[in-house]
Amino acid sequence: METKRSIELDPRKIEAYLQLANLYILKRDFALAENTFKVALRIDEKSTKVRYVLGEFYRRSGKIELAEAEFVEVTKIDPKDVGAWMTLGNFYASLNRLEDAEKQFMKGLRWIQKESNLISIWGTFT
């Protein structure tokens, strides 16, 4: 299997672990998929990509609290990631937690506004 070979060649290659976890999901071996995601997190606990995918895995598995924890962690790791705030907002909206969703959307919009202001200021100096 090519993915296992990739991991053997470079055991720290997170993308290979994500592909392997996806394969386990396709094989409906959810416990092994979850364990594989956790291995990837042990390699790089700040990987927002792994946390996004793991959060979605938990959401689809009905593990709502774990999904929320992963999505929140992404916003802590990279608070400037507007997509993280939108993902968390959409997650809350899907649970009909509309006030929480609105708060997350607003946080994302504030980052967009901050970036727009920085670009405007930078434009006056160039």
Give the pLDDT score at 110.
Answer: 87
Give the pLDDT score at 125.
Answer: 44
| Per-residue pLDDT tens over the stretch 78-107 | 998 999 999 999 999 999 999 999 999 999
Task: Tell me, letter by letter, the H, E, C secondary structure of 48-116.
Answer: HHHHHHHHHHHHHCCCHHHHHHHHHHHHHHCCCCHHHHHHHHHHHHHCCCHHHHHHHHHHHHHHHHHHH
| Per-residue pLDDT tens over the stretch 38-53 | 999 999 999 999 999 9
Give the pLDDT score at 126.
Answer: 45
Report the range of poorest mean pLDDT among 7-21, 28-42, 84-98.
7-21
